[in-house]
Amino acid sequence: MQVWGEAYETPAKAISNLSMHIQTHGNQIFPVTAFIANQAANSQTLPTADENPMFYVWIYVLIGLASLTFEMLGSSILVFGGYRASRLLFGQLLDTICRATMRWYDVTPTGRILNRLSKDFETIDTTIGFSFSFTIQCFFTVILSVLTIVLLSPLFLIPGIVICAAYVSYSKLYLEITRPLKRLDSTTLSPVFASFRTSLEGLATIRAFSAERRFLDKMNDNLDVTTKCYWALWMVNRWLLFRFDVLGGIAVFCVMAIVALFGGNTHQQVVSILGADVTALRAKASNGFEGLLIVSAMGLTMAIYWLCRFISQLELDLNAVERVTEYLNLPQEPPSIIESARPPAYWPSSGGPADSKLISVENLVIKYAPDLPSVLQGVSFDIKPRERVGLVGRTGSGKSTLATALLRFVEPVEGHIVIDGIDISTIGLYDLRSRVTFIQQDSVLFSGTIRENLDPFNEYSDEACLDVLRRVHLIDPSPSSTRPASIRNSDESTTFAVASSASSVTGTETNKTGAIKLDSVVTSSGSNFSHGQRQLIALARALLRKTTVIIMDEATSSIDFETDNKIQLALREEFASSCVITIAHRLQTIIDYDRVIVMENGKIVENGSPAELMSNTDGNFYGMCAKAGMV
């Protein structure tokens, strides 16, 4: 201390600046400088500050460089380590969510999933590492401040124990209050995300019914709830800061009282601890020790406050890790591939005798959850190779559930499904779903191009892709559209006119380009195409794959009757060697099928050819045809 004071000729100012450096950076300079002062006072080998002040300046510079080096090293480890951990955690979470069961998606709001993937990972990426770092820094700052005060004034231990007990009491209370508030703050964000997403998806419907005010009020209510939680959380912080300021004021008052009453004895004790000559140091260190003592007491208050804040913040940030970890234990679908039970490459085969069984369903019982009633109740039927079967029934009769059971989107409670001699519950999902084509009512398109949606794995040629687009009447089969040029590799892309019959039955045309080509852009969910066009693209994708088993769930519901008839004719020609299962509300679509299965309340009530079922005037199928004006 004496040497630093001599170098700058202002002992008190030097001591004050040194203490501020300790408080700001959490530094451990005080023991080092005390040791240097001790050695300088008892040894004649070191030069005095008047003779060689740069010697001590360079010591200060080296201490600063060492501090900077360790700070950069620690920050680098924190940043790169946190980045790697966050990336691995996000990859595991995304993989787990993608492989979750369909039931989990049914009961989990989309906003909650988005909150996990966005808000929680924002906390993990940007907050948790810094909270941990600042917690460590504040901890050592508090320790150094307490040691400084105790060494300079041992009498401070008497009021210090009481003040520390008050600090600990308030800190525990703060942590107990902020923990549930932070959870509420995170939880109430999910409805905001969900409300915003659903409003965007249904924007046209909201405007059509002039319901803007209702949805805006709902969004405002959700925002009010999450804002209340956020406001309460910050008010608790202000509550803590006020009480810590009061305790800090008491601590400073006690220190100043001790300095005023026992200043001389305190200095003598400290200098004796350093091992230096009391008489030589006391005169020049008196004011410096008093200043350092008071500044340390003042800095202790904010150091403890921020330590408490960062401990609380770290604990709350770890809630994000906890919430993400919960999603890592979601119920998962069965394995994609079971090496010991892989089907042969030709499975399922379209060959075999006409009276053989390609698909056999026996006593199938399906529940969406153990505590819910059965959706399918003992369903049994057989489908022959190359047979076309229609599934009809009222809404909620179990048609779509049966179709999804064939792809194991839901697992049976009882019974089993056998396709071409193999129980589908014994093979991997990839082997099953890659051999069966499913065309749903709400066709799914991905961001990219038309070709990427038709052939995502680049297994077919451009001409094959163009051919299926023509066969579903999505492009005009004009001579100019039959050139076998490679669209992807050509500088000039060939444009094809959109067939007028490909429009949706509503007449809504959302494709702004007015023409479709293989490299036409498809936006998210295919929003730049009409519903009917999206269904046609899905049908073209099925034609391109040419699988043995094809399941269509209202695949042409948004297409006009004339185009539907043309597509049905194309499907009969292209899928002549395939087994086709069609769920239809338009009875004209399946009236010429080989067989029709009528379902009601999860059971099969009628099963036979359309002619047989029409002959039963008391049957359900006859009643449906009568309502549709087909009788």
Q: Where are the domains of the chain?
A: 2-169+241-327, 368-627
CB atoms within 10 A of CB 459: 9
Q: What pLDDT sits at residue 613? A: 92
Q: What pLDDT sits at residue 499? A: 40
DSSP calls for 194-228: HHHHHHHHTHHHHHHTT-HHHHHHHHHHHHHHHHH
Laid out side by side, the sheet with 376-383 consists of 376-383, 359-366, 412-419, 422-423
Same fold: 2-169+241-327 with 368-627: no
CB atoms within 10 A of CB 19: 24
Q: What pLDDT sits at residue 90? A: 92
Q: What pLDDT sits at residue 429? A: 92
CB atoms within 10 A of CB 525: 15
Q: In 3D, which of 370, 427, 375 has the Cα closest to residue 402?
A: 375
Written as one letter, the residue type at 261 is L
Do 26 and 138 touch, CB atoms closer than 8 A? yes
Residues of the chain below pLDDT 50: 1-41, 43-44, 264-265, 267, 269-285, 479-513
CB atoms within 10 A of CB 310: 21
* E-strand stretches of 273-370: 359-366
Distances, alpha carbon 19 to alpha carbons 157, 278, 281, 295, 349, in Å? 20, 22, 18, 7, 84
CB atoms within 10 A of CB 7: 20
Backbone phi and psi for residue 488, each to the nearest 5 degrees, phi listed first: -70, -35
Q: What pLDDT sits at residue 612? A: 92
Task: List 600's β-bridge partners, or say none.
Answer: 603
Q: What pLDDT sits at residue 176? A: 86
Give the model confidence (pLDDT) of 92-114 as tens digits. 999 999 999 888 988 888 878 88
CA 362 – CA 440 distance, rounded (Å): 24
Residue burial 461-498, b: 16+ Cβ < 10 Å; e: rest? ebeebbbbbbbbbbbbeeeebeeeeebeeeeeebbbeb
Written as one letter, the residue type at 480 is S
Residues in the chain: 631
The radius of gyration computed from the CA coordinates of the chain, to the nearest angstrom, equals: 38
Domain topology for 368-627? Rossmann fold (3.40.50)
Q: What pLDDT sits at residue 46? A: 66
Q: Give the class (CATH, top level) of 2-169+241-327.
A: mainly alpha
Q: What pLDDT sits at residue 512? A: 44
